[in-house]
Amino acid sequence: MPLDTTPLDADVIVIGAGAAGLTAARELKRRGVARVLVLEAAGKVGGRVLHDSSLSQWPLELGPEFIHGECHNLLLDLLQKGLPNKPAATLVELEYPNYYYFGKEGRLLRAAEADELPEVAAMHESFEKLSEPSEVGEPPRAEQSLLQYFAASGVPSRAIDLADALYANDYGAVASDVGLREVEVEQKAWTYGEKYLVLRGASLQDAMDALADGLDVRTGWAATSVRWQAFTQPGAARVEVSDARGRTLRAARLVVSVPLPVLQRGAIGFDPPLPPPLTAAISAVRMGNALKVILRLSRRFWPADFYDAVCADCFMPEVWLSPAAELMLPDAKPPFTIVGFVAGERADRVAELPHAEIARQTLLQLDAMFGTPAKPHPASDACDGFVVKNWADHAHVGGAYSHPTLHAEGRRNGFAEPAGDAVWFAGEATHEGINPCIHGAMETGQRAAAAVCASLEDEHRRGGSRGPASRL
């Protein structure tokens, strides 16, 4: 059924006010699109950027926390321009990680020391081979899991446990769920540099608020259906977005930037159904869960240079100080806060436990890492509060971020293809470089905005008498 001719509410509608959606909207405005409307189901902008203020004077990040890479990084560019009302915000460079903990052995080592162990060196060497250019005529590696690859490469089991915590948990999965071919794509496509940065004096929410500044964002607006029609005649309204309350908004073009699980569970219905390249991408790419537990502690009990540890064969594969930039200062005062992070299937299993038990087991792990005969329970004795965030329970997200997926190589390319030159997709899961970072999401927003503007310009050239293209 053709869409009606009711006047447009916007030139372009963007569904989702996370990093991708906000970037798309800003880029559309920069390119001259006059009426851009952003719809967000939650009560705030920023998507998976979220912080807690109950445990510390510092905002504690419940979602993304680190800035990865110093080269052509859109998030870093935004932060370096300066955030409104945050004149003191700075960036601090760390090295990832600075400690390893071998849980089965109860052994804590500085990363520099552990990297000299033959089995750890073998682990790093095997992974680094994935970023090397392929030789001419060399057949591609057979698809397999990252776990299978390490085992076939002869990496000892001790180091495989470490690799599972170091690489797979960072990807948001377990090593048996990480697809090797997509890992190779990411390793060879990564051009952002190797710096590992954290904010001092500001939160990532401040960055998202800066992105949203000046945009028409409507929070609490959860889209449930999209009616669209492929290009038929210039100037025709081709997209209708509706919610469960019966509200409907119309636009010439649409950018969808919601998290992948929202699409996979069919929370937004599309009429007509999306084309095969898009449905194949939505079905093939996987997004794991992530869980954070943040512990408030009344005193220090860790080495002075500690800020992060990757933990092999442990309840929490990674623990770190948060905010590291503040708490590593020599004059830092309590409370101190430490994060435990677990992803993938492990996160799903941990999430089945009561929150108090999650905190207790994390504290026991810290006791084992940092305890001494004189003070065997330094973490348990110092803890006076905690917060647990299970991202699978987030109504508008349903997980952490996409990860390199078995048998999904090339599928993300399908997200670059619009539906009928009317609907485009953005978000970290649509990044062809398998880049789950905030700046990767921002890049997809820029990509979608550029494609929308090209479509509008084409419509104008073909005789459109109204619409934003005339103002580009």
Inform me whether the pLDDT recorded for 467 exceeds 70: no
3-state helix, strand, coil in the chain (%, to 5): 35, 25, 40
Give the ranges where 270-354 is alpha helix by DSSP (H). Answer: 276-284, 324-327, 344-351
Under the phi-then-psi rule, with left for phi > 0, alpha for psi from -120 to 50, and beta for the rest, what region is 246?
A: left
Mean pLDDT of the chain: 93
Question: pLDDT tens digits, residue range 83-93?
Answer: 888 877 889 99
pLDDT digits over 135-191, tens only?
777 788 899 999 999 999 999 999 999 999 999 999 999 999 999 999 999 999 999
Of all residues in the chain, the percent with pLDDT exceeding 90 is 87
In sequence order, the 6+-apart residues with CB closer than 8 A to the CB of 134 are: 140
- Alpha-carbon distances of 206 from 26, 120, 337, 437, rounded to whole Å: 16, 38, 21, 17
Q: What is the CATH number of domain 10-47+205-286+403-471?
A: 3.50.50.60
Over the stretch 57-98, which tens digit does the pLDDT of each residue have?
999 999 999 999 999 999 999 999 888 888 778 899 999 999
| Residues 6+ away with beta carbon under 8 Å from 105 | none
| pLDDT band for position 234 (cuts 50, 70, 90) | low
Other beta carbons less than 10 A from residue 267's beta carbon: 18
E strands of 272-371, at which residues?
286-287, 290-297, 308-312, 318-321, 336-343
Average pLDDT of the residues in 392-396 = 95
Which pLDDT score, from 0 to 100, does residue 258 have? 98
Comparing CA positions, the residue from 186, 173, 392, 182 lying closest to residue 284 is: 182
- What is the average per-residue pLDDT within 231-242? 77
Domain with CATH 3.50.50.60 in the chain: 10-47+205-286+403-471
One-character DSSP codes across 394-453: -TTT-SS-EE-BTT-TTGGGGGGS-BTTTEEE-SGGG-TT---SHHHHHHHHHHHHHHHH
- Is the pLDDT at 344 greater than 60? The verdict is yes
pLDDT at position 230 is 83
- Strands (E) in 229-272, as ranges, are 239-243, 248-256, 269-271
Tens digit of pLDDT for each residue in 293-326? 999 999 999 999 999 999 999 999 999 999 999 9
Residues 6+ apart with CB under 8 A from 228: 3, 238, 239, 240, 254, 270, 271, 272, 419, 420, 422, 423
Helices 438-461 & 19-30 angle (0-180, nearest 10): 40
The three-point CA angle 265-267-272 to 5° equals: 100
Q: Which residues contact 348 (CB under 8 A, 6 or more apart)?
A: 289, 392
Is 0.85 surpassed by the pTM of this model? yes
Q: In whole angstroms, how large is the CA radius of gyration of the chain?
A: 23
